[in-house]
Every structure is written in C-alpha cells, then in structure tokens.
C-alpha cells in the first residue's frame, strides 16, 4: 500500500493535483452560466413586479368604479366592483 503512489507515478500524488480548476478549462461552454442565471432571476423578478403592479392598478380601478355608484341600466341596483380572492387565501 505504501508503494502505491510510487508505482502510479508522480501525477497521482496529492501535491500534483491542482487545488482549483476553472470551469472554463473543463467545459468552455459553461462559462456564461452566471450571466444566464442572473438574466433568468431578473426576468422572474420583473414578472413578479409587473404582476403586483397590475393587481394594484386593478384594485384602485375597482375602488374608483365602486365610488362612482353607477346604477345597473334599467334598475336601481348599484354596481360594486371587487377582485375575487384566490380560493387558497380565504
């Protein structure tokens, strides 16, 4: 067992093994991974922001329409607008 490193040659000894290997040295096409992950994360954040902004506009619009107290045509019933809650959040 003690003679194993000598039999295998110097390249297999721990001292000859590099501590760090760059990903670009192993797989050059993987170098853009960080930028791609950043773009995907940014796209998800923007989609969430846009959804939140749209929901806020819809809520404000409902409040304005309800405040107008518009009657349903041909009746005395007042139209009331609201966003229906999601079934899982009630």
Cα angle value 31/48/57 (rounded, 5°)? 150
Q: What pLDDT score was predicted for residue 68?
A: 95
Q: What pLDDT score was predicted for residue 37?
A: 83
What global pTM score does this model have? 0.45
Asked if residue 63 lies in contact with residue 38, where contact means CB atoms within 8 angstroms, the answer is no
| Domain residue extents for the chain | 23-89
CA–CA distances in Å: residue 51 to residues 30, 59, 60: 32, 12, 14
Q: What pLDDT score was predicted for residue 17?
A: 75
């Amino acid at each position: 067992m003690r003679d194993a490193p000598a039999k295998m040659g110097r390249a297999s000894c721990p001292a000859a093994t590099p501590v760090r290997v760059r990903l670009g040295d192993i797989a050059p096409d993987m170098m853009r991974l960080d930028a791609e992950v950043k773009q995907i994360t940014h796209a998800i954040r923007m989609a969430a922001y846009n959804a939140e902004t749209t929901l806020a506009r819809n809520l404000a619009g409902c409040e304005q329409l309800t405040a107008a107290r518009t009657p349903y045509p041909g009746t005395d019933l007042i139209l009331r607008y609201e966003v229906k809650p999601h079934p899982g959040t009630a």
